[in-house]
Structure 1
């Protein structure tokens, strides 16, 4: 048996942007849940649920918005630098926002 010479996932911004989304979700033990929500300020979030990571996205988003938001949320969750994410989105930890309020 041989061990792969490269990691299964590149934990860089490029790794999160270039890995096919279904593969990224599988490698990270994550799943996407879409919710109906009227709040246009909500663009998604991540939460641990048992042994999996749940990416919550609004149903109203287009497929491209969902893809890029899910990737950005996952990258942020795993401490990848998202400061120059291609969509211009800013990702925040809700606990940090609550402390600032």
Structure 2
């Protein structure tokens, strides 16, 4: 008898917002690194480091801001619709921003 498997992750906006953050990070091979940043315009980034993802967040953010930013950065990285994200943040690729300048 086979048991129906559950998907590793629901790749929808709701899936990224509702999954426990620790589980989301583990399943996507990601970790959060907090850094001191003087630039108030920097709200985080996501980098691929050879098979693992590093979510870089400013230390100054509140726990809720860090949580929602990490989820949004991961969702954006995996092509999940991040429009109308709860923080009002807009996620973009740095390469796209460099071409726009």
Task: Indicate the larger mover: 84-93 or 3-12.
Answer: 3-12
Q: Gaps (5+ residues) in structure 1?
A: none
Give how far 1:3 is off.
5.6
Number of residues paired by the alignment?
101
**CA separation of 1:37 and 1:15: change in aligned 2, threshold 3 A:** same
The Cα RMSD (Å) is 1.3
**TM-score (normalizing by structure 2):** 0.95
Secondary structure at 2:91's aligned position in 1? coil
Structure 2 residue 1 is matched with structure 1 residue 5: no
**TM-score (normalizing by structure 1):** 0.95
**CA separation of 1:3 and 1:77: change in aligned 2, threshold 3 A:** farther
Per-residue CA distance 1:1-34 (angstroms, 9 max, x = gap): 8464331100000000000000000000000000
Secondary structure at 2:54's aligned position in 1? strand
2:41 aligned partner:
41
2:58 aligned partner:
58
Q: Gaps (5+ residues) in structure 2?
A: none
**CA separation of 1:52 and 1:4: change in aligned 2, threshold 3 A:** farther
